[in-house]
């Protein structure tokens, strides 16, 4: 590992949202107040120290930024207004770009032009595909009076697209997670973790993904709920679209209590509540965690909100027999959804859905290595 | 009952008494067996003072002055040192263990050394046991 | 000699809040002491030194017709004068008073309440026994020579000299070198406001040199001073090697400091590596306006190392108090001169205290200075010559304390923040003027808090860095405080001096002249006609060595007579045996 102090790194991190990186004088109040920091994983102070001194190699093996859920308590208590919470947030962006081997993540985080161009190009591709490749809209209605969605977006074709996209995205994400694993566990513990440890600690990954218990340890529990609703809504919707599309995108209109519609409604409501809380928070800027919004934060919220709204519109137009409105909103939905998933899941903010539970898992592995050394 | 010696100490005003005060301001703890008598200079310590202390029942006598070369009165401590050597001989002839009389240089900044000195001297005198000279003198009715 | 009248003693035991009362049962002491013969009143009070405490004594003196007073409280070095004044105001001679030290030498140093209480009783008993033999002593007052001697021509010395001279009094200013200005003449800018040191100094020097009441002696040191407050005298060797005798009433010592010798810290390579320089040398570099390495290149990586020689038991345990702020000043100056350079600041602790200094630290931290912490006590950084091609010429290896990591820093230039230390000749000065030095070789003040510029020798004051490391504002404040003290004594025209001198009983004196041999001040001479020794009270400083030397008991050290001390021994030993 390179142990040379490197003043260029903090300068580089500016583009990931770090400001006032040198205000911190290491009193340790942030670490003392943090409800999540623990023996062996002391943050934010230690992580900030590595950042200040530009120790890139050490930072890249750090799992700590992912263990922080940014309640903002540290920033509130900081006597120097160094905003440690935001520093941790910025480091998560930086680490995401470090794990990504394509280099696109860094481009998206540090250049608005790249990010917007990518979105627009893929949006146009989606629109063109619908117009020129897929079958045209059948304006006749089903016997129930619904729109024939499968006429212009046949689920077996869309399903192929979904699977293809899921495989690409998952492939990228998995390869990045492997890189994260290599740095955090392999390098971070000098390869001291045995296979048995990997198996024994695995349930932490699942448990933390589903319940997010660490977030609930933060002072303000309401955000755990908002965040959990958002996450579970998203995950359910994602599974419905990718795995169960033939069952989900039916022309038959089921009664509202039917599982298909009930799950869809739950996911939509969960997403809406979570998004509203986040958007209001970022607009009001009353809490520390919402005070500084990076472009990537807003872009993610806006795109997801638009996806949800267009999704709701598709549903409304379809059940009420409005073929053209359904057609347009379906294309809009896909034109937003596709670039969002392509950018967000492997390269940007949405990747924390994977990195966070994996970080908890990797932290457990590091800990088992530590106890071994001790 | 445990033997609790009484030690009479003559401290010069400028170095040793100030050093003893410093031990106090620094809240150092030492044995409560010493009774300090302040003199302006260790050169003022008349042999009579030492003999009187033993005569009245002191188990030990301590004289402290400035370090050589640091005397506020230039060389009073040297004169004290010479007298001390003579006093040692004298008390031995009187039947007092020479270890009961001790001379040490303590500067104004040596509060710690003073505290340690009192502890070590108290321990030494405890080992020697009570001084018998007072009883001897009284029995002989001198 | 016991006075004819019957002793009527008032004893007052102080609680000192909880300082004494916590460890000493003051009620019990008061009770036991009250039973001793001649003790008329025995009282205790929360704070004897307070106004109501003093009034209590004054009232009792009148009401009970007391003629002796004993106060058991703190060290007589602190409040003996306070209580003597109470006696004086109540019409008693101030010397009919004795103090028992039951705080610094009892309650504060013991943790057994019973033993401490017992010790207090014995100490008070000794004092009571002694005070019976106290005699009224007459005050002696001496005239004040209105001239003042200031030793040292730095900022502190000049400030003091100007302050005294501006009041129209003569000042002799002694400077060791050939120019005024001291350490500050090396500085480029001052912290925290980055004022130009030269401009400030220039005005001060000009005023000093041109002042009608200040006479500056260059290249002059002092060897011996005779006399006492109001009437000092010394002989100096002036420039032209001519001897000149100066007489003055007060002395202000402002001999300053010297920078720590950085080569003593082996691992920093000072002296071996050309681009490792001290903060003093860097100031000189800044004064040229161009920061360049010894080879003439613009340094890209500059490291500043704090606490060189300070806060390390191997060198000096104390903090030099200004280096952190100077380091921050350097970082700021470097950032302006070399905006693209990498600046590393290695500190042991950042101690940016003082007006405007924490603000300087905050402002500096916004300028991309990399602050790092090292372990000053156990693991000093190591500076080595770099051999790898493409590397800067030097590498600093150190363990960063906050992260716990062993790190390296590339450096083209390394600035060592050297601490301050006392001049090697302080001992000579201390001897010359009769003051003491502490374990760090700085002069000791009379009271660290309540009398910080005076010394235990009346008429001698210490200001600036010779008293302890400090910055310019503190030095100037001390200088002006000392000047105020000097002017106050000059204005009074005369001062009371200690009367505890020696005295010869001519009937007992056998004329052996032993006392003349031991007197360090040649204060005793032999009267050939009467064939006795005679003490010159003006020269006598009251050490008492003659008294303990006199074979016939003819010499009495006033206030420390044989009888007084013997009865003190008697008193405390009798009480000790009684308690047993």
CATH number at residue A58: 1.10.1060.10
Which residue matches tokens 């007084």?
A: C564
Q: How far apart are the first and last CA of chain B?
A: 30
Asked if residue C404 and residue C272 are part of one domain, the reply reads: yes
Asked if residue A195 and residue A315 are part of one domain, the reply reads: yes
Beta strands in C59-146 (DSSP E): 68-73, 97-101, 140-143
CATH fold of B7-135 reads Rossmann fold (3.40.50)
* pLDDT in 10s for each residue of chain B, 142 residues: 689 999 999 999 989 999 999 999 999 999 999 999 999 999 999 999 999 999 999 999 999 999 987 788 878 999 999 999 999 999 999 899 999 999 999 998 899 999 999 999 999 999 999 999 888 888 886 6
Query: What span, in angstroms and rounded, lies between the C-alpha atoms of A5 and A49?
Result: 11
Question: C540 contacts in B (CB within 8 Å)?
Answer: none
Residue C304, strand partner residues: C345, C415
Asked if residue A267 and residue A118 are part of one domain, the reply reads: yes
Query: What span, in angstroms and rounded, lies between the C-alpha atoms of B53 and B50?
Result: 5
CA atoms within 13 A on the CB side of C562: 20
Cβ contact C560–B49 (<8 Å): no
Question: Last residue of some domain: A35, A67, A99?
Answer: A99
Q: Rounded to a whole number, what is the distance in Å from the CA of C507 to chain B's nearest CA?
A: 21
* pLDDT in 10s for each residue of chain A, 374 residues: 789 999 999 888 988 988 878 889 899 999 999 988 888 888 999 999 999 999 999 999 999 999 998 888 899 999 988 899 999 999 999 999 999 999 999 998 988 899 899 999 999 999 999 999 888 888 888 888 889 888 898 888 888 888 898 899 999 999 999 999 999 998 888 777 888 888 888 988 988 888 888 888 877 788 889 999 999 999 999 899 888 988 988 888 898 889 999 999 999 999 999 999 999 999 998 888 888 888 888 999 999 999 999 999 999 999 999 999 999 999 999 999 999 988 888 898 889 989 999 999 999 898 888 887 76
Asked if residue A308 and residue A197 are part of one domain, the reply reads: yes
Query: What span, in angstroms and rounded, lies between the C-alpha atoms of C130 and A78?
Result: 62
Q: Name which of C344, C361, C368 is nearest A5 (Cβ-Cβ).
A: C344
Task: Give CA C282 to chain center in angstroms.
Answer: 31
- Dihedral over alpha carbons A44, A49, A53, A59 (to 10 degrees): -50
Name the nearest CA neighbour of C445 among C420, C494, C402, C481. Answer: C481
Asked if residue C505 and residue C479 are part of one domain, the reply reads: no
Query: What span, in angstroms and rounded, lies between the C-alpha atoms of A103 and C264?
Result: 51
Q: Angle C313-C314-C319 (CA atoms, 0-180°, nearest 5)?
A: 50
In chain C, which residue's Cα lies nearest the Cα of A7?
C342
Asked if residue A314 and residue A197 are part of one domain, the reply reads: yes
In chain B, which residue's Cα lies nearest the Cα of C555?
B44
Asked if residue C398 and residue C267 are part of one domain, the reply reads: yes
- Residue A164 lies inside a defined structural domain of this protein: yes
Cβ contact B38–C76 (<8 Å): yes
In chain B, which residue's Cα lies nearest the Cα of C121?
B35
Question: C362 contacts in A (CB within 8 Å)?
Answer: 23, 80
Domain that holds residue A283: 104-373
pLDDT at position C243 is 86
Confidence of residue C343 (pLDDT cuts 50, 70, 90): very high
- Residue C142 lies inside a defined structural domain of this protein: no
Query: The tokens of C195 are what?
Result: 């004022």
Query: Cα dist. C92→C445, C565, C568 in Å?
Result: 31, 22, 21
C518 at the B interface (CB within 8 A)? yes
Eight-class DSSP state of C415: E
At CB < 8 Å, which residues of chain C contact A? 342, 344, 350, 361-362, 365-373, 400, 402-403, 405-410
Name the nearest CA neighbour of C108 among B24, B19, B17, B111. Answer: B24
Cβ contact C545–B41 (<8 Å): yes
CATH number at residue C524: 3.30.70.20
C239: pLDDT strictly greater than 70: no
Name the nearest CA neighbour of A331 among A157, A128, A118. Answer: A128
Tell me the count of A-C CB pairs closer than 8 A. Answer: 58
Cβ contact A22–C342 (<8 Å): no
Cβ contact B25–C104 (<8 Å): yes
pLDDT tens-place string over residues A209-245: 888 888 888 777 888 899 999 999 999 998 998 889 8
| Domains identified in chain A, total number | 2
Query: What span, in angstroms and rounded, lies between the C-alpha atoms of C152 and C501?
Result: 33
Name the nearest CA neighbour of A364 among A51, A66, A97, A92. Answer: A66
| Domains identified in chain C, total number | 4
How is the beta sheet containing C369-373 ordered, strand by strand?
A: C276-278, C413-418, C301-308, C342-347, C369-373
CA atoms within 13 A on the CB side of C288: 8
Asked if residue C31 and residue C131 are part of one domain, the reply reads: yes
- Residue C49 lies inside a defined structural domain of this protein: yes
Domain ranges (residues) in chain B: 7-135
Q: What is the pTM of this model?
A: 0.77
Q: Rounded to a whole number, what is the distance in Å from the CA of B44 to chain C's nearest CA?
A: 5
Please report, rounded to a whole number, the percentage of residues in chain A having pLDDT higher than 90. Answer: 50
Asked if residue A113 and residue A39 are part of one domain, the reply reads: no
Asked if residue C330 and residue C432 are part of one domain, the reply reads: no
Question: C411 contacts in A (CB within 8 Å)?
Answer: none
Eight-class DSSP state of A137: P
Query: Which residues lie closer than 8 Å to C346 by C-beta, 6 or more apart?
Result: C303, C304, C305, C306, C372, C373, C374, C381, C396, C398, C409
- Residue A275 lies inside a defined structural domain of this protein: yes
Asked if residue A358 and residue A278 are part of one domain, the reply reads: yes
Q: Rounded to a whole number, what is the distance in Å from the CA of A39 to chain C's nearest CA?
A: 14
DSSP codes joined into one string, C331-396: HHHHHHH-TTSEEEEEESS----STTHHHHHHHHHTS-EEEEEBBTTTB--EEEE--STTS-SEEE
C4: pLDDT strictly greater than 70: no
Q: How far apart are the first and last CA of chain A?
A: 21
Pairing outcome for strands C39-45 and C68-73: unpaired
Query: pLDDT higher for C188 or A71?
Result: C188
Question: Last residue of some domain: A78, A99, A120?
Answer: A99
C542 at the B interface (CB within 8 A)? yes
Q: Name which of B24, B37, B108 is nearest C569 (Cβ-Cβ).
A: B37
Asked if residue A77 and residue A33 are part of one domain, the reply reads: yes
Question: Last residue of some domain: A65, A99, A133?
Answer: A99
Q: Residue B63: helix, strand or coil by DSSP?
A: strand
Asked if residue C456 and residue C389 are part of one domain, the reply reads: no
- Residue A183 lies inside a defined structural domain of this protein: yes
- Residue A22 lies inside a defined structural domain of this protein: yes
Q: Name which of A7, A25, A45 is nearest C370 (Cβ-Cβ).
A: A7
Asked if residue C274 and residue C411 are part of one domain, the reply reads: yes
Query: pLDDT higher for C190 or C140?
Result: C190
Query: What span, in angstroms and rounded, lies between the C-alpha atoms of A355 and A363?
Result: 12
Burial of A222 per CB tally in 10 Å (0-12, 13-18, 19+): exposed
Rg (CA), chain C: 30
Question: Last residue of some domain: C390, C420, C450?
Answer: C420
Query: What span, in angstroms and rounded, lies between the C-alpha atoms of C159 and C177?
Result: 18
Asked if residue A266 and residue A127 are part of one domain, the reply reads: yes
Asked if residue C519 and residue C434 are part of one domain, the reply reads: no
Asked if residue A119 and residue A55 are part of one domain, the reply reads: no
Cβ contact B37–C568 (<8 Å): yes
- Residue C101 lies inside a defined structural domain of this protein: yes
- Residue A1 lies inside a defined structural domain of this protein: no
- Residue A199 lies inside a defined structural domain of this protein: yes
C458 at the B interface (CB within 8 A)? no
C126 at the B interface (CB within 8 A)? yes
CATH number at residue C9: 3.40.50
Q: Name which of C123, C436, C543 is nearest B108 (Cβ-Cβ).
A: C436
Residues in chain C: 580
At CB < 8 Å, which residues of chain A contact C? 3-5, 7, 10-11, 20, 22-23, 25-26, 45-46, 49-50, 52-55, 58, 80
- Residue C143 lies inside a defined structural domain of this protein: no
Asked if residue C411 and residue C267 are part of one domain, the reply reads: yes
Asked if residue A33 and residue A123 are part of one domain, the reply reads: no
- Residue A2 lies inside a defined structural domain of this protein: no
Cβ contact C573–B115 (<8 Å): no
Q: Name which of C116, C544, C569 is nearest B8 (Cβ-Cβ).
A: C569
C125: pLDDT strictly greater than 60: yes
Cβ contact B47–C570 (<8 Å): no
Asked if residue A218 and residue A87 are part of one domain, the reply reads: no
C449 at the B interface (CB within 8 A)? no
Phi, psi of A105 (to 5 degrees): -55, -50
Please report, rounded to a whole number, the percentage of residues in chain C having pLDDT higher than 90. Answer: 82
Cβ contact A22–C344 (<8 Å): no
Question: C75 contacts in B (CB within 8 Å)?
Answer: 17, 21, 24
Domain that holds residue C525: 499-558
- Residue A3 lies inside a defined structural domain of this protein: no
Asked if residue A150 and residue A38 are part of one domain, the reply reads: no
Average pLDDT over every residue of C514-525: 88
Question: C109 contacts in B (CB within 8 Å)?
Answer: 23-24, 27-30, 32, 115
Cβ contact B45–C434 (<8 Å): no
Query: Cα dist. C419→C287, C303, C343 in Å?
Result: 20, 17, 21
Q: Name which of C362, C365, C408 is nearest A4 (Cβ-Cβ).
A: C408
pLDDT tens-place string over residues C203-225: 999 999 999 999 999 999 888 88
Query: What span, in angstroms and rounded, lies between the C-alpha atoms of C515 and A313?
Result: 117
Q: Name which of A7, A22, A52 is nearest C366 (Cβ-Cβ).
A: A22
């Amino acid at each position: 590992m390179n142990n040379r102090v490197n003043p260029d790194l903090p300068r580089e991190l500016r583009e990931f949202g770090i400001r006032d990186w040198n205000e911190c004088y290491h009193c340790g109040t942030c670490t003392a107040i943090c409800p999540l920091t623990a023996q062996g994983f002391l943050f934010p102070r230690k992580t900030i120290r590595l950042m200040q001194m530009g120790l890139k190699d050490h930072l890249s093996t750090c799992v700590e930024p992912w263990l922080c859920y940014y309640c903002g308590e540290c920033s509130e208590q900081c006597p120097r207004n160094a905003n440690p919470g935001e520093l941790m947030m910025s480091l998560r962006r930086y680490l995401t770009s470090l794990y990504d081997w394509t280099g696109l993540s860094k481009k998206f985080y540090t250049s608005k032009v790249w990010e917007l161009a990518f979105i627009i190009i893929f949006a146009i591709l989606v629109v063109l595909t619908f117009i020129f490749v897929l079958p045209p809209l059948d304006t006749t209605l089903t016997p129930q009076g619904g729109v024939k969605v499968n006429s212009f977006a046949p689920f077996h074709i869309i399903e192929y697209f979904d699977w293809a996209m899921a495989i690409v995205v998952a492939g990228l994400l998995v390869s990045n997670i492997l890189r994260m694993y290599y740095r955090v566990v392999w390098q971070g513990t000098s390869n001291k973790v045995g296979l048995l440890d990997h198996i024994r600690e695995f349930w932490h990954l699942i448990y933390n993904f589903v319940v997010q218990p660490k977030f609930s340890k933060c002072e303000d529990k309401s955000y755990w709920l908002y965040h959990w609703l958002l996450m579970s809504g998203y995950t359910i919707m994602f599974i419905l679209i990718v795995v169960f599309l033939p069952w989900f995108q039916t022309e038959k209109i089921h009664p509202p209590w039917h599982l298909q519609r009930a799950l869809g409604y739950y996911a939509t409501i969960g997403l809406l509540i979570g998004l509203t809380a986040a958007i209001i928070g970022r607009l009001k800027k009353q809490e520390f965690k919402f005070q500084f919004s990076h472009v990537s934060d807003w872009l993610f919220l806006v795109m997801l909100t638009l996806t949800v709204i267009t999704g709701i519109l598709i549903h409304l137009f379809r059940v009420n027999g409005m073929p053209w409105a359904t057609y347009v909103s379906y294309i809009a939905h896909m034109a937003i959804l596709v670039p969002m998933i392509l950018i967000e899941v492997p390269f940007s903010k949405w990747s924390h859905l994977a990195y966070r539970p994996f970080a908890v898992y990797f932290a457990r592995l590091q800990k088992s290595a530590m106890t071994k050394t001790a | 009952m445990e033997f609790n010696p009484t030690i009479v100490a003559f401290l010069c005003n400028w170095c040793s008494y100030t050093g003893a005060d410093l031990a106090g301001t620094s809240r150092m703890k030492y044995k409560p067996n010493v009774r300090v008598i302040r003199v302006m200079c260790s050169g003022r310590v008349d042999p009579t003072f030492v003999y009187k202390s033993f005569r009245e029942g002191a188990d030990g006598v301590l004289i402290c002055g400035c370090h050589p070369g640091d005397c506020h009165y230039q060389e009073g401590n040297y004169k004290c040192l010479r007298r001390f050597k003579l006093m040692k001989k004298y008390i031995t002839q009187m039947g007092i263990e020479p270890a009961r009389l001790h001379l040490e240089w303590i500067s104004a900044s040596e509060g710690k050394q003073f505290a340690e000195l009192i502890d070590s001297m108290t321990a030494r005198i405890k080992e020697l046991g009570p001084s018998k000279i007072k009883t001897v003198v009284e029995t002989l009715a001198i | 000699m016991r006075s004819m009248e019957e002793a009527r003693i008032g004893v007052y035991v102080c609680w000192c809040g909880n300082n004494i009362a916590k460890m000493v049962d003051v009620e019990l002491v008061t009770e036991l002491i009250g039973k001793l013969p001649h003790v008329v009143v025995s009282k205790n009070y929360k704070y004897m030194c307070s106004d109501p405490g003093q009034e209590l004594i004054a009232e009792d003196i009148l009401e009970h017709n007391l003629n002796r007073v004993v106060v058991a409280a703190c060290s007589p070095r602190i409040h003996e004068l306070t209580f003597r004044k109470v006696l004086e105001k109540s019409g008693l001679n101030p010397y009919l008073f004795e103090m028992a030290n039951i705080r610094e030498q009892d309650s504060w140093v013991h943790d057994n309440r019973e033993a401490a209480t017992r010790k207090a009783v014995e100490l008070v008993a000794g004092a009571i026994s002694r005070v019976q033999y106290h005699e009224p002593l007459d005050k002696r007052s001496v005239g004040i020579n209105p001239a003042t001697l200031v030793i040292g021509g730095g900022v502190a010395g000049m400030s003091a000299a100007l302050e005294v001279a501006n009041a129209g009094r003569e000042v002799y200013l002694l400077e060791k070198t050939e120019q005024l200005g001291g350490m500050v003449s090396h500085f480029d800018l001052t912290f925290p406001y980055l004022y130009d040191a030269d401009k400030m100094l220039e005005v001060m020097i000009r005023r000093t040199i041109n002042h009608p009441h200040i006479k500056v002696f260059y290249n002059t040191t002092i060897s011996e001073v005779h006399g006492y407050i109001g009437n000092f005298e010394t002989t100096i060797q002036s420039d032209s090697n001519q001897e000149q005798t100066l007489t003055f009433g007060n002395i202000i010592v402002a001999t300053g400091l010297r920078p720590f010798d950085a080569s003593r810290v082996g691992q920093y390579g000072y002296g071996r590596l050309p681009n490792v320089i001290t903060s003093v040398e860097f100031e000189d570099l800044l004064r040229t306006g161009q920061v360049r390495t010894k080879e003439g290149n613009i340094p890209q990586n500059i490291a500043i190392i704090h606490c060189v020689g300070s806060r390390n038991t191997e060198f000096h345990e104390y903090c030099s108090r200004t280096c952190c702020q100077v380091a921050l000043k350097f970082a700021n100056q470097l950032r302006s001169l070399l905006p693209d350079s990498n600046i590393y600041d290695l500190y042991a602790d950042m101690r940016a205290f003082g007006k405007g200094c924490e603000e300087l630290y905050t402002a500096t931290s916004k300028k991309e200075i990399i602050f790092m912490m090292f372990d000053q006590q156990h693991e000093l950084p190591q500076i080595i010559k770099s051999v790898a091609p493409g590397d800067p010429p030097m590498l600093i290896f150190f363990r960063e304390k906050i992260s716990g990591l062993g790190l390296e820093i590339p450096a083209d230039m390394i600035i060592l923040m050297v601490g301050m230390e006392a001049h090697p000749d302080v001992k000579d000065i201390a001897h010359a003027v009769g003051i003491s030095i502490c374990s760090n070789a700085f002069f000791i003040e009379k009271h660290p808090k309540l009398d910080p510029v005076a010394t235990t020798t009346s008429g001698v004051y210490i200001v600036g860095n010779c008293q302890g490391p400090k910055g310019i504002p503190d030095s100037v404040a001390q200088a002006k405080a000392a000047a105020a003290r000097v002017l106050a004594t000059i204005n009074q025209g005369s001062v009371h001096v200690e009367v505890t001198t020696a005295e010869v009983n001519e009937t007992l004196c056998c004329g052996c002249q032993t006392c003349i041999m031991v007197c360090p001040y040649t204060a005793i001479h032999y009267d050939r006609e009467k064939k006795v020794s005679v003490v010159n009270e003006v020269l006598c400083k009251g050490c008492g060595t003659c008294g303990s030397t006199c074979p016939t008991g003819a010499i009495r050290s006033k206030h420390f007579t044989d009888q007084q001390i013997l009865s003190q021994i008697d008193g405390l030993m009798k009480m000790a045996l009684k308690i047993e």
